[in-house]
Chain A
Amino acid sequence: MYTLTSVTRTYQKGSHTVSALQGVDLVIEDGEWLAVQGRTGSGKTTLLQILGGLDRPSTGTVNFDGQDLAVLSETRLTEFRADFVGFVFQTFNLLPTLSAVENVEAALVPRRVSSALRRARATQALEVVGLSDRAQHLPSELSGGQQQRVGIARALVKEPKVLLADEPTGNLDGDTRDEIIALLERLWHAHRFTLVLVTHDPSLAGRAQHVGIMSDGKLAVGQGARDR
């Protein structure tokens, strides 16, 4: 699915040049679960953003199913994200004025789905994550774990090829963290999307098929605890 070749990402911060990624080579197969682990500032999030088309590499190629994301126009990248990518954020990033079901529906708006079908799919997605009784609640009325479930439902409602999760349990307590990871694992088994999960927690990373270690912008990938 993904083939990254000599990807670098640098940017200016005042008078300094920061190298977030340095010559990253990576292959991610269809349906694979890759965990990317590293300390804060190691480049994990930057890698995830490049995989999701939220950012462009400074050099190198990012091949996704035969097309180089690095050279796509902004419009094409937006379409790519709308059609193929689901995101789960550390801080949930729910729209505060919309209810849980409306937040999930927001992911289907670019797909031009009819409002009735959109509502039906959003409701079903919330049911899958166990939140059908919280559909009309605002994010401020949900716990952290519940908000993250809504985030996962939003990411999966469009049946993406890739799910990119950036520290999905970073803001959650111990029990809730386990619940969320178990949920992600269950959904990955059921739908077999490609899952790239960024975390600084080795125990979480170890549950993936492969684990990549980010350090100072460089990536080394090894086998995870799970067999394919």
Chain B
Amino acid sequence: MFFLTYLRHELRRRMRQAILIAVGLAVGIGLVVTVIAASAGVENAQNSVLHALYGIGTDITVTQAPSPGSHTGGAFSPGSTTQQVDELLNGQLSPLNASAVAAISRLRHVAAAAGGLALTDTKLTIPSAGSLGPGGQPPTNLPAPTSFTVDGVDLAHLGLGPFGSGELKAGRTFAASDRISNVAVVDSNYAMANKVTVGSTITIAQTRFTIIGIVQQPQGGGSTDVYITLARAQALGMGLGVSNLRNQVNMIYVAAASASDVPTVQAEIAKLLPSATVTTSSSLASAVSGSLASAASLISDFGRWLAIAVLMAAFAVASLLTMAAVARRVREFGTLKALGWRSRRIIAQVMAESCVVGIVGAVLGIALGFGGVALVDAVAPPLSATVAQNPGSAPAQDTLFNGSSVQHLQAPGSTSTVIVHLVAPITANALVLAVTLAIAGALIAGAFGSWRAARLRPAEALSQVA
């Protein structure tokens, strides 16, 4: 076909210029692909951080902050002997009646609702009165208090809440028959730090629990060290002025029927529980701080505009080079018009040449994009993400010796920081966008050149010096 013959010969003659235009487009496209991938990677990292805390299937969390000035925990007076204290405490959030879970699950547009208890197990040693120093100072060799977080998990809805995001690495997960059993599933970081495995035992609120499984949360882990059944957490936990937490929860995880129902469900829950804090995943995303948030901002602001600027520069250079090439071929196009070629046939030739250059630019750009993404994955430093441990929560507990007693008090700023490693994924949509942009850029360049070719008057074109 003459069209293709002419096209092939022309591109071969102007190969250097064609490659230059293609490379220019490729740089712009490669940058766009890299920025899109990095942006997606940051978004994935943010989502996984939130999922680790609140669960993948959870759209809405419901909590209630304690009233100002309240605190949990006990005061212990030193006795004649050393005392070992092991308590499972609800120190961060006000309890909610478990019936609220059922009420929420009956709301329209709610697919499922599950209650949970986010608790802390604290172990400390109360010295004997005789070992206290002057002014009631504790002995210097007194072991430091230790604590770890414990989540009571609703076995009817294992997919909701942070437990649902964990990937089972060893052992098994909870079964319905475990409801009142002293079994636990631990986080992989906790297992490594405390050198425990499946089959090991740990003590929670002076009760021995057998580890049946180990889970790993995405992106460095969430805030929970140990998961037990909700029933056992309610039986062993202590709250404000109460020795157990029966029929109580302090977190409600809600899944909406669809993403578009989330705002409606949020509003309905707020009406049902006016004093509760009702938060969605998107509102929590804005609460993420740390270098992950900074990276997101950098990519969104600087990265995006840089990619757009480079792309526009590539388009401009491609257009100028194409117009220059057409200018050099003025006499040639005049000859073709003299032979009886219509303007649109000449335009089709110019556009086809540009299209081929665009396709080459797209291929090179995608290759550059993959290279850029590999570079990002290789050199990007670990990023930190800090987020409120529980929205609307009170501060975490602290332990204070005041000479004659030991009190659990509240300390400010309960947050969770996780370290994430950025992995920038290249999606099919990004590749399609890259190809579209490259060809569009080349066609824009071709259009400028074609416009010039179409306007040629044959006599004028033939009078040009070759």
Contact = CB atoms under 8 A, between A and B. Distances in A.
Interface of A: 46, 49, 52, 54-55, 74-75, 78-79, 81-83, 85, 87, 89, 91, 93, 95-98, 102, 105-107, 109-111, 115, 118, 154
Chain B: interface size category: 20 to 34
Contact of B6 (A89, A98, A107): A98
B458 interface: yes
B167 interface: no
B341 A93 contact: no
Nearest to B10: A97
A110 B256 CA distance: 65
Interface in B426-459: 457-459
Given A93-B331, A97-B6, A98-B5, A54 B341 contact: no
Given A55-B458, A89-B335, A102-B5, A96 B13 contact: yes
Interface string B1-18: 110011001101100000
25 contacts: A49-B458, A54-B337, A54-B462, A55-B457, A78-B337, A82-B341, A87-B339, A89-B335, A89-B462, A93-B335, A95-B6, A95-B332, A95-B336, A97-B6, A97-B10, A98-B5, A102-B2, A102-B9, A106-B6, A106-B341, A110-B339, A110-B342, A110-B345, A111-B340, A115-B1
Contacts of A111: 340
Contacts, number: 80
Given A83-B340, A95-B332, A154-B339, A109 B2 contact: yes
A19 to B, nearest CB: 16
B340 A107 contact: yes
B176 interface: no
B341 to A, nearest CB: 6
B462 A106 contact: no
Contacts of B457: 55
B466 interface: yes
A9 B230 CA distance: 99
Contacts of B12: 97
A75 B454 CA distance: 12
Contacts of B2: 102, 105-106, 109, 115, 118
B338 interface: yes
Q: Is the interface of B mostly helix, strand, loop or mixed?
A: helix
5 nearest CB pairs, A to B:
A82-B340, A97-B9, A55-B459, A110-B340, A54-B458
Contacts of B9: 97-98, 102
Given A55-B459, A93-B331, A97-B10, A79 B1 contact: no
Nearest to A75: B342
B402 to A, nearest CB: 94
Which of B10, B12, B331, B462 gathers most chain A CB within 10 Å?
Answer: B462
A78 B13 CA distance: 28
Given A96-B13, A106-B2, A87 B338 contact: yes
Main secondary structure of the interface of A (DSSP, over half): helix
Contacts of A110: 339-342, 345
Contacts of B337: 54, 78, 81
B338 A52 contact: yes
A95 B12 CA distance: 14
B33 to A, nearest CB: 34
Interface string B322-345: 000000000110011111111101
B335 A95 contact: yes
Most A-side CB within 10 Å, residue of B6, B338, B457, B462: B338
A107 B340 CA distance: 7
Given A87-B339, A106-B2, 16 more contacts: A46-B459, A49-B459, A54-B337, A54-B338, A54-B458, A55-B459, A85-B340, A93-B331, A93-B338, A97-B13, A106-B341, A109-B2, A109-B341, A109-B345, A110-B340, A115-B1
A106 B345 CA distance: 12
Contacts of A118: 2
A95 B346 CA distance: 13
Contacts of A55: 457-459
A74 B345 CA distance: 14
Contacts of A98: 5-6, 9
Contacts of B341: 78, 82, 106, 109-110
B15 to A, nearest CB: 11
Interface in B333-377: 335-343, 345
A79 B341 CA distance: 8
Contacts of B6: 95, 97-98, 102, 106
Contacts of A106: 2, 6, 336, 339, 341
B1 to A, nearest CB: 7
A220 B232 CA distance: 118
Contacts of B345: 109-110
A220 to B, nearest CB: 24
A46 B458 CA distance: 12
B334 to A, nearest CB: 8
A87 B340 CA distance: 11
> Which interface residue of B332, B340, B341, B462 has the most chain A CB atoms within 10 A?
B340
Contacts of A49: 458-459, 462
Given A97-B10, A105-B2, A91 B466 contact: yes
A78 B340 contact: yes
Nearest to B465: A91
B340 A81 contact: yes
A151 B9 CA distance: 19
- Candidate in A46, A74, A93 with the most chain B CB atoms within 10 angstroms: A93
A194 B12 CA distance: 39
Contacts of B340: 78-79, 81-83, 85, 107, 110-111
Nearest to B13: A97
Contacts of A95: 6, 332, 335-336
A12 to B, nearest CB: 13
